[in-house]
C-alpha cells in the first residue's frame, strides 16, 4: 500500500436527488444533461483505466412505474416519515418507463456503467433518504434499504458500498447496512467545515467550502489506508468534491485543478488515499468543459501512476485490500 490510492465515487440520483427541494423542476436541465454526460464520463474513465464507484439511488433500477409502486406497497405500507411521504407523492407523478420519463428511470445507463470495465455499482438509498433529518427512523431506513435491494437484485446487482445522501453520515444506521452485506461506506472529510449536518447547509458553511475548493483552508484531506478500518466497517472518507465548471468563475478553474492535483500528488508520494466525488448531474450543463476538466484530472492520475505507482481503485476494491491486510472483521466474504 506504499504507493497510494485514487478513489472516485459518484452520487447517481437524477430527479430522485432533487424532488424534495425542487418542486418547480428548475433543476431539470441538469438532470437531462446528466444522461448526456454519463457516457462521456464512462469513456473518460475507460480511456485512463480509472476505477470508480457509482452510488446509485435504488429507484433508478425500476423498469416501470408498476415495479416502483409494487415495491412501495411491499416495503412502505407501515412506514410514516415526512421523507417517505414526500417520496411516495413523487412516485404518483411518474411516467410509465424510462423512455417516457428519463428523469426517474435509468436502467439503460446502469447497463452502460455495468458494461464498462472497473466500474462498481453501490447504493445511495432507495428514495434518496436523508439519514440525519429523519430522526429515530431506523425502521424506515431498513425498509428503504430492502426496497432498494429488491430493485437491484432483480438486475443481478448486490451492492457492497454505500454513500449517504447529502453526506448525512449516521453511525446508528451502519448495522442495517452490515446486515445487508454493505461493509464499505463513504464518510466525510475530517474537518469541521465538512461535518455531517441535518437539513441544508448554512450559507456560511457553503461559502467557506466554496472558497476551500480554490484556496487551501482545511488541508489536503488525504489519509493512510489503514485509517479506513473502523472495527467492522470500512469508512473511506471523501477528500474533495469536484465542483463543476462555472462560466462566471472560469478564471478560477486553474486554482481548483491545482488544489486537486496537489492533493493527489501528496497522496501518491506518501502512500495515502485521495477520494474525489461528484454527481453526474453536476456535469449536466457545460458538458464539454466538465469532461475536459475530468480528462485533465485523469491524465494527471496517469502521470502519478507512472511516477509513483499511484493506483486507481473502487471503494470496494480498497476495502478488499484492507480486509486482506488487516482482517478487521471475521466475515471477510462480506467485503468481497
Q: What is the pLDDT along the chain (336 residues), one digit of tens a residue?
A: 468 999 999 999 999 999 999 999 999 999 999 999 999 999 999 999 999 999 999 999 999 999 999 999 999 987 778 889 999 999 999 999 999 999 999 999 999 999 999 999 999 999 999 999 987 789 999 999 999 999 999 999 999 999 999 999 999 999 999 999 999 999 998 876 767 766 666 677 678 877 888 888 878 899 999 999 987 899 999 999 999 999 998 999 999 999 999 999 999 999 999 999 999 999 999 999 999 999 999 999 999 999 999 999 999 999 999 988 765 444 444 333
Spatial distance between the Cα atoms of 242 and 256, rounded to a whole number of angstroms: 9
**Can you give the pLDDT at residue 17?**
97
**Can you give the pLDDT at residue 201?**
63
What is the helix (H) or strand (E) element at residue 54, kind and residue range? strand 52-56
Q: For residues 151-168, b (16+ Cβ closer than 10 Å) or e, as one string?
A: bbeeeebebbbbbbbbbb
Q: How far is CA 160 from CA 52, 122, 124, in A?
A: 13, 6, 11
Beta bridge partners of 233: 230
Q: What is the pTM of this model?
A: 0.93
**Can you give the pLDDT at residue 335?**
36
Spatial distance between the Cα atoms of 236 and 51, rounded to a whole number of angstroms: 15
Spatial distance between the Cα atoms of 58 and 76, rounded to a whole number of angstroms: 14
Spatial distance between the Cα atoms of 185 and 315, rounded to a whole number of angstroms: 8
Nearest-CA neighbor of 168 among 199, 140, 144?
Answer: 199
3-state secondary structure of 289: helix
Spatial distance between the Cα atoms of 3 and 213, rounded to a whole number of angstroms: 25
Q: Residue 107 in contact with residue 61, Cβ under 8 Å? A: yes
Burial-class residue 107 by CB neighbours within 10 Å (0-12, 13-18, 19+). middle
**Can you give the pLDDT at residue 231?**
77
Interior CA angle at 59 toward 53 and 60, to 5°? 60
Cell 420519463 maps to which residue?
Answer: 101
What is the helix (H) or strand (E) element at residue 186, kind and residue range? strand 184-186
List of domains in the chain: 5-326 (3.20.20.370)
Provide the greatest CA pair distance for the chain.
56
Q: Residue 224 in contact with residue 272, Cβ under 8 Å? A: yes
**Can you give the pLDDT at residue 216?**
85
Nearest-CA neighbor of 123 among 96, 91, 97, 159?
Answer: 159
Interacting residues of 280 by C-beta distance below 8 A, sequence separation 6+: 10, 12, 34, 37, 38, 41
β-pair type (5-12, 273-278) = parallel
**Can you give the pLDDT at residue 199?**
62
Amino acid at each position: 500500500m506504499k504507493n497510494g490510492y485514487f478513489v472516485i465515487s459518484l452520487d447517481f440520483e437524477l430527479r430522485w436527488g432533487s424532488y424534495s427541494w425542487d418542486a418547480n423542476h428548475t433543476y431539470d436541465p441538469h438532470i437531462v444533461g446528466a444522461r448526456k454526460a454519463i457516457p462521456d464520463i464512462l469513456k473518460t474513465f475507460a480511456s485512463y483505466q480509472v476505477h470508480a464507484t457509482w452510488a446509485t439511488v435504488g429507484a433508478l433500477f425500476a423498469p416501470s412505474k408498476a415495479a416502483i409502486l409494487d415495491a412501495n406497497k411491499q416495503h412502505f405500507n407501515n412506514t410514516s416519515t415526512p421523507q417517505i411521504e414526500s417520496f411516495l407523492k413523487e412516485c404518483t407523478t411518474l411516467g410509465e418507463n424510462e423512455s417516457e420519463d428519463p428523469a426517474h428511470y435509468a436502467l439503460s445507463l446502469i447497463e452502460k456503467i455495468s458494461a464498462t470495465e472497473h466500474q462498481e455499482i453501490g447504493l445511495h438509498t432507495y428514495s434518496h433518504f436523508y439519514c440525519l433529518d429523519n430522526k429515530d427512523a431506523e425502521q424506515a431506513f431498513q425498509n428503504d434499504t430492502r426496497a432498494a435491494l429488491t430493485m437491484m437484485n432483480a438486475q443481478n446487482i448486490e451492492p457492497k458500498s454505500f454513500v449517504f445522501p447529502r453526506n448525512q453520515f449516521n453511525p446508528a444506521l451502519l448495522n442495517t447496512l452490515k446486515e445487508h452485506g454493505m461493509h464499505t461506506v463513504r464518510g466525510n472529510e475530517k474537518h469541521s467545515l465538512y461535518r455531517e449536518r441535518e437539513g441544508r447547509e448554512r450559507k456560511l458553511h457553503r461559502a467557506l467550502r466554496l472558497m476551500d475548493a480554490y484556496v487551501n483552508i482545511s488541508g489536503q484531506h488525504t489519509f493512510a489506508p489503514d485509517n479506513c478500518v473502523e472495527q467492522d466497517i470500512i469508512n473511506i472518507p471523501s477528500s474533495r468534491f469536484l465542483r463543476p465548471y462555472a462560466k462566471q468563475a472560469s478564471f478560477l478553474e486553474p486554482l481548483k485543478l491545482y488544489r486537486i492535483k496537489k492533493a493527489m500528488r501528496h497522496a501518491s508520494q506518501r502512500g495515502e488515499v485521495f477520494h474525489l466525488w461528484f454527481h453526474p448531474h453536476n456535469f449536466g450543463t457545460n458538458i464539454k468543459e466538465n469532461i475536459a476538466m475530468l480528462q485533465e484530472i485523469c491524465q494527471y492520475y496517469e502521470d502519478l501512476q507512472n511516477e509513483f505507482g499511484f493506483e486507481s481503485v473502487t471503494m470496494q476494491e480498497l476495502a478488499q485490500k484492507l480486509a486482506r491486510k488487516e482482517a478487521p472483521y471475521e466475515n471477510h466474504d462480506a467485503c468481497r
